[in-house]
Amino acid sequence: MNNVNRGGPRDDEEPTGDNFRTLRRIARLDEWPAMGDPTRPGLTIAMVDVETEGLDAETDQIIEIAAALVQTDTDGHITRIIDKAYGLQDPGRPLSPKITQLTGLDDRKLEGRAIDIEKMTAFLSRADAVLAHGARFDAGFCRRLLPGIAHLPWICSLSDVDWREHGYDGRALGHLLMQQGLFAPKAHNAGDDVTATINLLATVLPNGRTVLAEALANAQTITMRVEVEGKSFDAKAELKRRGYRFDWDRKVWAIEVSALQADYEESWISRHFPHLRIVRTPITWFERHC
C-alpha cells in the first residue's frame, strides 16, 4: 500500500509554523474586551440581523430580530456594548420546512409571539446608523416592519468592505471570521449572527484599519449610480463586461461607481452607444442599501 499523506499531522510533526493555524472562539457580548479609546467617542451603531419566512421584503415577514447597540471610538474600535434587544414574530401561517431547518424556529416557538414595534423602534433610534452583514436584505424587511427608523442610514459589512482587495477569498460571515482567526458556534439565528458580526467588525484588516472603520468610511463616501436607458440589446454584452447589472424593477442597466468613474462611463457610452441615455444619481448611505 502506498504511504499517502492525506493532510493530517504525522506523529513526529510539531504543531507549529505554517502547518497549523489556531482559531479563537468569538467573544460574547456580555464579556466584551476593552478596546479602543472610550474618551474619544465616535458613532453609536445598531448591529441588526433578521430571520424571515421568505426572501421577499414586500410580502414575507420577519420572524426573528436581534440587535445590539455598540459605542465606537473615532478610530472605528468598538469600545463597549451598550444594550441588546430581541424579538420573535408569529407570521400567522406555517413556516416552510426549509426555513425551520435554516433558523431552528418552528410554528410552536413562534405561536402567539409579536415583536414590540414601539420598543424596537425606540431601541434602534438611539443609534446614529444601522449595520448588518448583507444590509440590503435586512434593511428592506426592517423598514417595512419599523417605518419609524426610515431616517437612519445603513452600513453593510458585506459590501462596504472590498474584501477581495484586502486578500480575502469569500464574504460569508463564518468564512471571514475564520480568515481572521476566529470561529463562531454552529448556529444560524439572529442573536448569534449579531455577535459574530460585531466580532468581525472588531478585527483588523491588512491596512491597519478595523473592519468597522473601513466599512464606515466606505459607507459614508458618496458614489454615483449610472443608469443606461434606451434600447440596450446591442450594448448588453459590453455593459456586463464593465460590471453593469440589469435592474429588473427599473428596466435599466446600472452600476455604482465613484464620481470620477461616472464621468468615464458617460464618456465611454456616448462614444460607443450614442443612442443610449445616461442618468446619474448621487448615492449616500441613506439610499445605498434600500
Whether pLDDT at 188 is above 80: no
pTM of the model as a whole: 0.88
Burial (Cβ within 10 Å: 0-12, 13-18, ≥19) of residue 56: exposed
CB 210 within 8 A of CB 77: yes
Q: Cα–Cα distance between 146 and 121 in angstroms, integer?
A: 6
Residue 14's pLDDT band (boundaries 50, 70, 90)?
Answer: low
Decide yes or no: CATH 3.30.465.10 for domain 21-219.
no
Whose cell is 442618468? That residue is 279
Q: For residues 250 and 264, what is the distance between their CA atoms, to the nearest angstrom? A: 23
SS3 128: coil
Range 223-283 has CATH code 3.30.70: yes
Kindly state the average pLDDT of the residues 96-121.
Answer: 96
* Interacting residues of 15 by C-beta distance below 8 A, sequence separation 6+: 9
In tens, the pLDDT along 249-259 reads: 899 999 999 99
Q: How far apart are CA 80 and CA 68, in angstroms?
A: 11
Long-range residue pairs from 151-154, CB within 8 A, at least 24 positions apart, any chain: 152/46, 152/124, 152/125, 152/127, 152/128, 153/129, 153/219, 153/284, 153/285, 153/286, 154/129, 154/130, 154/219, 154/285, 154/286, 154/288, 154/289
C-alpha cell at 10: 504525522
H helix or E strand, kind and range, residue 144:
helix 135-145
Strand partners, 81: 70
User: For residue 290, is pLDDT > 90?
Assistant: no
Amino acid at 257: V
- Domain extents for the chain? 21-219, 223-283
Helices 211-219 and 190-202: crossing angle in degrees, nearest 10, is 90
Q: What are the C-alpha distances in Å from 265 to residues 33, 183, 227, 237, 260? A: 46, 41, 10, 15, 9
Q: Mean per-residue pLDDT for 121-134?
A: 98
Q: What are phi and psi of 200, to 5 degrees?
A: -65, -40
Count CB neighbours of 246 within 10 A: 14
pLDDT digits (tens, 9 = 90+) for 137-177: 999 999 999 999 999 999 999 999 999 999 999 999 999 99
Terminal Cα distance for the chain, rounded: 60
In the predicted model, is pLDDT for residue 6 greater than 70? no
pLDDT of residue 13: 53
Distance (Å, whole) CA 99 – CA 142: 19
Beta bridge mates, 219 = none
CA separation for the pair 229, 222 (Å, rounded): 22
C-alpha span between 268 and 184 (Å, rounded)? 46
**Would the CATH topology of 21-219 be identical to that of 223-283?**
no
Q: Taking the mean position of all CA atoms in its chain, how far away is CA 181?
A: 19
